[in-house]
Amino acid sequence: MTEFTSGTLTGKNLHLSFGHNHVLRGIDLHVEKGTTASVIGPSGSGKSTLLRVMNRLIEPDQGDILLDGRSVLKDNPDELRQRIGMVFQQFNLFPHKTVLDNVSLALRKLRKLSKDEARAEALEQLDLVGLKHKADARPANLSGGQQQRVAIARALAMKPEVMFFDEATSALDPELVKGVLALMTDLAKGGMTMVVVTHEMGFSRNVSDTVTFMDAGVVVESGPPEQIFTAPATDRLKGFLSDVL
């Protein structure tokens, strides 16, 4: 796996409410350059929302987001999102475009590469995820695991400094999870800065450098995986781990 020009991402005191629903209540998350932070917690705890706030798909009500130490809240959010790749639970490939076009679309329209350059670049990314031979297929004709690997290639093609994974394996059949997790592990080892919202405790424990446990919009506990999984300090984390392990 190639080396990445990755960055350090910091969320400070992030707050977000939808009406009376206070979804994020002052979240701090720091992901050092080249490391992987996994975010675990029960559903509805605000994990996925946190990712969307940190790439400003949803603007925070309060708090700050820093990329390499500089606040990005005043930047054009579209430019910020070009620097942060995101992979979704439901893949969200563009069904009306071929696999190749899914990967090359942003290269042509945002990075302004020529058609041939974009094609070469996209094929290279597809090769990295082992799907170069599917370049001309439609997403609907791929398995879920293949679709998710294309989605990863699509995000990587923009040469992001940080990658977000939002429960990237939750919608996959069990036998397809492995291939996607293996790819994510390769990325982590290759030095990509990653924020991984996941229910895969094995991945969280073995691959990530830090684990953050969220519940009801707050960070309850955060630390290295051994500490979180073998010596949980709070009852909430203990209860959660006994439910999922």
For another protein, the binding residues (CB under 8 A) are 55, 57, 78-79, 81-82, 84-86, 88, 90, 92-96, 105-106, 109-110, 130, 138, 140-146, 151, 154-155, 158, 173-176, 178-179
CA dist 4 → 71, 83, 158, 189, 226 (Å): 22, 12, 11, 10, 27
- What tokens were used for 80? 């910020």
Output 62 or 76, the one with its CB closest to another protein: 76
At 190, the amino acid letter reads G
Shortest gap between Cβ of 143 and another protein (angstroms)? 4
Shortest gap between Cβ of 2 and another protein (angstroms)? 20
Q: Name the 3-class secondary structure at 186.
A: helix
User: In angstroms, how far is CA 96 from the centroid of its own chain?
Assistant: 24
Output 98 or 222, the one with its CB closest to another protein: 98
Shortest gap between Cβ of 71 and another protein (angstroms)? 19
Output 58 or 218, the one with its CB closest to another protein: 58
Q: Please, what is the end-to-end C-alpha distance for the chain in angstroms?
A: 31
Give the whole-angstrom CA distance, residue 120 versus residue 115.
9
Shortest gap between Cβ of 96 and another protein (angstroms)? 5
Output 41 or 145, the one with its CB closest to another protein: 145
Lookup result for tokens 């450098």: 209
